[in-house]
Amino acid sequence: MAATKLVVIVIDGLTPEVFESAVEGGAAPALRALAERGRYRRAVSTFPSLTPVCLSSIATGAHGDVHEIPHLVWYHRGDRRVVEYGSSFGAVRRAGALQSLRDSVFTMNEQHLGAGAITVYEAIEDAGLVAGAINITCYRGRTPHMPRVPGLTRPAYGPKRFFFYNLFESDATGARLAVRDRASGTLDAYAGEVGRWLVTRDGFDLLVLYLPDYDFASHALGPGHAHEALARSDGAVGALLSAAGGVDEFLERYAVILLSDHGQTLVERAVRLQDAYADLPLLAPGSEREAEVVVTASNRAGMVYRLDGCRDDVRRLAERLDGEPGAEVVLFREGADAIARRGGEELRFAPGAEGWETAGDSAILDHPRGLERSWAALANPNSGEVIVSAAPGVEFSDLAGRHHVGGGSHGSLARGDSEVPMLTVGLESEPSSITAVAPLALAHFGIELPLHARMLAGAA
């Protein structure tokens, strides 16, 4: 077994450019102290590069074809309803606030997360070690935790050390309420306080610390303009280092993986993806009419679900977007192959015995790991028949028509949405993808990888 324990730090939405600038310029002293002692590279996210999908990939070491979380908003074919994890407050109200709350807090982990996916928390604790998670939404573990809100009696199953925005707390740490005054960085401050408490007591073997406030600020201000939020995230990291007596003392006890879940790019205009299907009966929240198509979209990715009786086949649903300037790449399956359409041209691809077999212009998917990520997204059983990656500068409006024009967004295959900073300290390898984080964590503790992680590592 490895001599050191491990801390995984996820700063939501942090781009490589902002990380590198902050470290080189001294604006993030805690991050700089770790970077000076570690190894750094740019790595790749999953697709769609949206937080629930990305955090599930970090926790399971797999893309959506294994963990089965397809998007921030998607259509549940079995329940015949739209699942909305939180694109915006307006979108949550349109989908049903109570249902959205249940989905994002409970159902995502209990039912939506694929039964065949093993989370890093489950694997760590099955090996007799102690895992911890702070604020991360993909948290599935073995230990039941009762909510701290009076009147709520539904447990959440997480790791032994489990803290989720003051709703669930496995230990009384004295940390302040996390949900007040979000814009001032209270969520990261809460995470830092809990992390400090845990480090002081050396209360875990693996800790995953999730810091969401930078992404929140970057959505509003734009990538590269959320400096105050990054300083607060850096402060939360610094709280862990100081709890051990300083950075060197901290690193004597803990190895570190520090990364983001996705990048962000500037939004210049919003597009309603459903307008391309306006002549077809569309399913809408609260609508009782017979629908042929469901369109779910937010941020910079969208999905089109073909329902029984739809007059268009899947190819025609995809081709409807040929003239839509907001859609850069349109993906769908045709037989055993995947198809990517871009500018009216096609690339046909499928995995083969010795790599990818393709026919057509490979430049259509010239995005980071474009073939791998697109194939996995289409193989997700909860994805739409058609998946859309937005054009540069474009965001798809959500259920309530909300968007981030003038700010930042993510979700597409594009490099700016898909590249993340990846810093490791005290580890032998440098992950090239967020899907490699969980396997690296398990290898650090000498734990055998789950089958799905071994298969992905073998294909990389």
**Cβ(412)–Cβ(395) under 8 Å?**
no
Strand 161-164 relative to strand 131-134: parallel, antiparallel, unpaired?
parallel
**Cβ(178)–Cβ(195) under 8 Å?**
no
Identify which of 453, 450, 435 has the alpha carbon closest to the alpha carbon of residue 127. 450
| Cα(185)–Cα(135) distance, integer angstroms | 13
Identify which of 196, 150, 198 has the alpha carbon closest to the alpha carbon of residue 170. 198
Q: Is 90 exceeded by the pLDDT of residue 170?
A: yes
- pTM equals 0.95
| Cα(212)–Cα(229) distance, integer angstroms | 10
Give the pLDDT band (50/70/90) at residue 1.
Answer: very low
Q: Is 90 exceeded by the pLDDT of residue 277?
A: yes
Q: Is 70 exceeded by the pLDDT of residue 311?
A: yes
Contacts with 155 (C-beta within 8 Å, 6 or more apart), sequence order: 144, 145, 146, 147
Calculate mean pLDDT across residues 342-346: 94
Per the rule left: phi > 0, alpha: psi between -120 and 50, beta: everything else, 280 is: beta
- pLDDT, mean over the chain: 94
Is residue 125 within a helix (H) or strand (E), and if so which, with residue range?
A: helix 120-126
CATH of 269-403, one of 3.40.50, 3.30.1360, 2.130.10, 1.10.150: 3.30.1360
pLDDT for position 279 = 94
pLDDT above 90: percentage of residues in the chain = 88
Calculate mean pLDDT across residues 342-352: 96
Per the rule left: phi > 0, alpha: psi between -120 and 50, beta: everything else, 428 is: alpha
Strand 386-390 relative to strand 301-306: parallel, antiparallel, unpaired?
antiparallel
| Cα(398)–Cα(94) distance, integer angstroms | 10
Beta strands in 113-165 (DSSP E): 131-134, 143-145, 156-158, 161-164
What are the tokens at 435?
Answer: 């899907």
Q: CA-CA-CA-CA torsion for 26, 28, 33, 34, nearest 10 degrees?
A: -130
pLDDT for position 451 = 74
pLDDT for position 2 = 43
| Cα(130)–Cα(132) distance, integer angstroms | 7
pLDDT by residue (tens digit) across 279-290?
999 987 666 568
Instruction: Name residue, tokens 């760590």.
Output: 124
Give the pLDDT band (50/70/90) at residue 428.
Answer: confident
Give 152 or 121, the one with higher predicted confidence: 121
**Other CB atoms within 10 Å distance of the CB of residue 153:** 8
Domain spanning 5-69+113-263+414-459 has what CATH number? 3.40.720.10
pLDDT by residue (tens digit) across 228-267?
999 999 999 999 999 999 999 999 999 999 999 999 999 9
pLDDT for position 452 = 72
pLDDT for position 265 = 98
pLDDT for position 240 = 98
Residue 362 burial (CB < 10 Å; 0-12/13-18/19+)? middle
- What residue ranges do the domains of the chain occupy? 5-69+113-263+414-459, 269-403
